[in-house]
Structure 1
Amino acid sequence: MILATATVSPLWYLSRSAGYVGLILLGAIGVLGIVTAGNVRVAQGTKFVTPEVHRSLSLLAMVVLAVHVGAAVADKYSFIGIKDVFVPFMSAYRPVWVGFGSVAVDLGIAVVITSLLRVKMGYKSWRLVHWASYPVFALSIIHGLGSGTDSSLWISKVIYLAVGGALVAAIVARLIARKDLRAGAKAALSGMTIAVPFVIVLWALSGPFGANWAKRAQTGLRQSLLASNNVASSSAGATKIQPVASPVLHLGSGYTSNWSGRIDQSPANSQGDVALRLIGNLSNSPGFELSVVLIGTPLDGGISMTSSVVEIASNNGTPIYKGTVTSLQGTTIVSQVANAAGEGFTFSANINLGSNGSSFTGAVAGSGSSSFSNLSTAGVQPRSERGDQ
């Protein structure tokens, strides 16, 4: 096709950069925490400064985390809402892998809060919560590998290996140094410590570092995925969903409408695929907008489509029709969608691109007739929460 591409959002770069900085800080915090647990004294001076550095880095990591999360939420391509930051596996974008990050955020916040309140908590209670730091490390690495589009880059691999290797080495060294553990316990715990990153590496080789990860990463919670305007693997046909009371949209035979709005583009993933989203209001259906997401390889200033997601939704983000693109020729898009009752609607959209490549105008013409109650699906959030206009 010849749809022009838009500029990659700087928010994506900010979010990914903050994510890597946060991961490095997390590794440093983990190593210093293990050193602190061993009561290691700094060579110079009489104070135990390691705990102070550990706490200071923890607070700094929270600031970096806020930047990472804030940029991801503000980025219109990721379709990640505030709710997705704390409620796992509900995100429209790579729900499983973003979900691991949500779990890590929840556990990390619990660890930081209990650390700040340590003087008011019993040592056993504090220590029990603080043990959550270990799964936070693993979950953060899995989240970064699975949700990042640049995980296969050499610099990304270096960061993951360095952080993971430093943590594993520190944990094993600490276990060996402990005098209250028997040799058998030390061997078992050390083996588990080494086994976890080994499994993660094996998964990464066949997953994020493997072929076609961009599409495979979208699976796991498919209904939640297709419930939002998001980059996803296209389904063979229209998606059915469970209805609840909501506004009614009438699409009669010979339906026509003007359609205009903006074009958003994702950064290229490790396989070189990008996604274009065209989203805009339908002039003859006030209060409703049409979104078309095209996924594929850049070609001659446009994109060679491999999959798609089409959605007609109310302006508050509630989905009405869902489906896929069935034909793409030049700037003409033909789509087939269906409502909650399974009633189909086929339409074509002719697009005129703006001079800056980030906006468009066009017209929609279709056939079919339906009048039905709208629906809401778990994980769907109004676009106002996702940073869309």
Structure 2
Amino acid sequence: MRDFFSVWTLIRVSGFLAFYLMTLSLAIGLFSSFSILKKKKARMVSAHQISGWYGLLTICFHLLLIWQDQYVPYSLAEIFIPFYAKNEPLFSGLGTLSFYLFFIVVGSSDFFIRRLGIKMWKKIHFAVIPAWLFMLVHGIAIGSDSSEPWALLLYLTSSSFILVLLFMRLLESIMLYQPAGQGKPKK
């Protein structure tokens, strides 16, 4: 039981939980943007925000645990300065960048959306895509469980699901914003 609550185990669990919550938030955000779900939008946006905040808090917990780890010690500078870590600087840096991008997206959504205006907020909000991709690469590359079949399945299904949602959203936006008269076959 003691090993279950070790720092190392909690680092791994918090990393997967953060990935799950941010994937959930991204998926709900994409779903809420579909025109056929307009009636459910308020509920979905609420779930999107809640899962995003819990994901961000879980990332913070993950960072705190990494700082406290004795096996692979990280200094605060290594945690907060991208690509500065001695251990896997590229992939640690992608994790750090992911954290910053998620922080900006979540923070701007809840605290600065009115000041930014909807157009600027949307531009900032799109940073969630590279943030999620950086998180995915970070987890696959330096996660100690990444070679396990269950972890590979988690990453593969999550990635596939997000890609399908992004593709569907792109298709819908193309179809909805097509100028009148285009896209119809000529007789």
* TM-score normalised over the length of structure 2: 0.85
Report what 1:108 is aligned to.
102
Aligned counterpart in structure 2 of residue 74 of structure 1, from 68, 92, 97: 68
CA distance in 2, matches of 1:67, 1:85: 12
Aligned counterpart in structure 2 of residue 140 of structure 1, from 120, 135, 139: 135
Report what 1:161 is aligned to.
156
CA distance in 1, matches of 2:90, 2:123: 27
Report what 2:183 is aligned to.
none
Equivalent residues of 1:18, 1:65 under 8 A apart: yes
CA distance in 1, matches of 2:126, 2:150: 30
> What do the CA deviations read for 1:86-122 (whole angstroms, capped 9, x no partner)?
2111001111111110111111111111101212221
Distance 1:42 1:14, change over 3 A: farther
Report what 1:366 is aligned to.
none
| Structure 1 position 181, deviation (Å) | 5.3
Report what 2:24 is aligned to.
28
Q: Does 1:118 align with 2:113?
A: yes
Equivalent residues of 1:42, 1:50 under 8 A apart: no
Report runs of 4+ in structure 1 exceeding 3 Å deviation. Answer: none
Aligned counterpart in structure 1 of residue 58 of structure 2, from 55, 64, 75: 64
Q: Does 1:177 align with 2:152?
A: no
Which runs of structure 2 are paired with 1:89-108 in the superposition (5 Å)? 89-108=83-102
Amino acid in the other structure paired with 1:67: F
| Structure 1 position 41, deviation (Å) | 3.4
Report what 1:19 is aligned to.
15
Secondary structure of the residue aligned to 1:34 is helix
| RMSD across aligned positions (CA) | 2.0
Report what 1:244 is aligned to.
none
Gaps of 5+ in 2: 180-187
Amino acid in the other structure paired with 1:146: A
CA distance in 2, matches of 1:66, 1:181: 42
CA distance in 1, matches of 2:161, 2:4: 34
Equivalent residues of 1:107, 1:136 under 8 A apart: yes
| Structure 1 position 8, deviation (Å) | 10
Higher strand share: 1
CA distance in 1, matches of 2:77, 2:57: 19
Distance 1:76 1:127, change over 3 A: same
Report what 1:207 is aligned to.
none
* TM-score normalised over the length of structure 1: 0.42
Which runs of structure 2 are paired with 1:128-277 in the superposition (5 Å)? 128-178=123-173, 179-180=176-177
Q: Does 1:87 align with 2:81?
A: yes
Amino acid in the other structure paired with 1:41: K
| Structure 1 position 64, deviation (Å) | 1.0
CA distance in 1, matches of 2:168, 2:4: 44
Count of matched residue positions in the alignment of Structure 1 and Structure 2: 173
Which runs of structure 2 are paired with 1:31-46 in the superposition (5 Å)? 31-39=27-35, 40-41=37-38
Look at both structures and tell me which one has the larger radius of gyration over its CA atoms: 1
Higher helix share: 2
> What do the CA deviations read for 1:35-80 (whole angstroms, capped 9, x no partner)?
222352356xxx7211111111111111211121111111012221
CA distance in 2, matches of 1:16, 1:181: 46
Equivalent residues of 1:15, 1:72 under 8 A apart: yes
Which runs of structure 2 are paired with 1:363-382 in the superposition (5 Å)? none
Gaps of 5+ in 1: 1-6, 183-389
CA distance in 1, matches of 2:163, 2:47: 20
| Structure 1 position 9, deviation (Å) | 8.6
% of aligned pairs identical? Answer: 21
